[in-house]
Amino acid sequence: MNSRAVAIRLLILLNCGMWCICLPERLLVNMTLVGNASAIGAFCLDGSLPAYHFHRGSGTGARNWLLQFEGGGWCNDLQSCLERAKTRRGSTRYMNKLETFSGILSNNASLNPDFYNWNRVKLRYCDGASFAGDAKFDNGTSVLYFRGQRIWQAIIRDLLPKGLGQARKALLSGCSAGGLSTFLHCDNFAKVLPMNASVKCLSDAGFFLDEKDVTLNHTIRLFYENLVTLQGVEKNLNKNCTSFFNNPKLCIFPQYALRFITTPFFILNSAYDVYQVNHILVPPSADLPGLWKNCKLNTADCSETQIGVLQGFRRDMLVALRIFYKYSNSVGMFINSCFAHCQSESQDTWFAVDSPRIHNKTIAETVGDWYFSRNRSKEIDCPYPCDDTCHNLIPTARDDRRFLSNASDNDLDSCDDCPKGHEEKNSGFIKPMHGTGMALWLLFLFLLV
């Protein structure tokens, strides 16, 4: 090996540091089919049995439980549900039998310090209605089971004798459509556990707004109303909520349901949630000419008007959260300005040396402080693009002023705790590689040289 190659290897090792030495092993957890689910008619869309992945806790966490709803969108008409039934989103027959547990599900104390030794369960999603439907379609040729509510009940029944029934602490969480599930099932979860258990809920990227799209149509409201009707969801929505509103179907939206939830709740969301930007604010039906195509791919390509629309979406989300931010002692939140969707299941965004932060606190630290009542846990980020901890494309420094000029820090009535801006530190388009991704890349170069 020549001196140049030796020098390169030494440089790589110096940059890699402990990441190359301490790469965490992946935790793969087997699937468990709920054998008794058929007794209560709990089936996936195609009639297959529902399933979950369970990694048992230990030590001080042996009687603590974390249940995580899987996400994966919805189907709100027969055609889309028939298609979904032939995929892993509608049948356990097509699902991977091993699931990686990372982020909030990790069993590594250094990567998930508050929940690593808890009993951790991932509930597989195969009903297409956030575990909330209760209906059946049968035309003599095709059969679809809209049985999400029964799947939820069957999994809980299966877990209670495995230790869930003796839980001391419990956290119900979920991502995306699974994050919506936590709003729909939070209070029910608390009711099935011991009276003296500490039970709380967390929604990651599940605060879907009842927002008009850029053509001023209620696209997402119509979508959810069709979903509720097709899958028989209305009877499983919060009863206090449905009796309060003239349109009870609105109670599938978290902004309307949350005020009726009595169990402590944490909201983890991006104020510029990429799913909501692409499907609620600018759905394909609202952008037939494709004027938003480049903007949605790279915010540096957004026009002044489009930037204003994105900042308006953030403002509307903060307005929907305002009452809980200002007056609720049981609600925690981490609302950052990253263009992201689901941040609790990825190690890079949950807890790492370069994870997204607000007031220098990671998501994991903020959630832990809230759950264990260690500290106040209501974090609202400054407007995009001032947060330089995000793992996404950012505009050049020249363009930063353009974004900030369209943003306002008064969206929560100028509350004293709201951030007033961060220093602009990054002048490039792409953030540096993060965490284990950097380690693997450097290790690859090391072996290549």
Please identify every residue annotated as catalytic. Answer: 176, 273, 341
Dihedral sign, Cα of residue 135, residue 136, residue 137, residue 138: negative
For residues 91, 92, 96 and 99, what is the CA-based torsion angle, rounded to 10 degrees? 120
* Number of residues that make up the chain: 449
Report the candidate in 155, 178, 174, 164 with the shortest Cα–Cα distance to residue 33.
155
Q: How far is 156 from 56, CA to CA, in rounded Å?
A: 15
CB-based contacts of 26, cutoff 8 Å, min separation 6: 100, 102
CA-based diameter of the chain, in Å? 78
State how beta strands 357-358 and 331-336 pair.
unpaired
List residues bridging with 380 in a β-sheet: 335
* H-only helix segments in 138-248: 148-159, 177-192, 219-231, 239-244
Q: How far is 368 from 75, CA to CA, in rounded Å?
A: 34
CB-based contacts of 10, cutoff 8 Å, min separation 6: none
Q: How far is 384 from 336, CA to CA, in rounded Å?
A: 9
Q: How far is 365 from 391, CA to CA, in rounded Å?
A: 18
* H-only helix segments in 232-303: 239-244, 254-257, 274-276, 293-297
Dihedral sign, Cα of residue 370, residue 375, residue 380, residue 385: negative
Tokens standing for 197?
């258990």
**Under a CB-based contact definition with an 8 Å cutoff, are residues 231 and 279 in contact?**
no
Q: How many Å from the N-terminal Cα to the C-terminal Cα in the chain? A: 9
**Under a CB-based contact definition with an 8 Å cutoff, are residues 215 and 280 in contact?**
no
Report the candidate in 107, 118, 99 with the shortest Cα–Cα distance to residue 25.
107
* H-only helix segments in 245-396: 254-257, 274-276, 293-297, 304-327, 347-350, 363-371
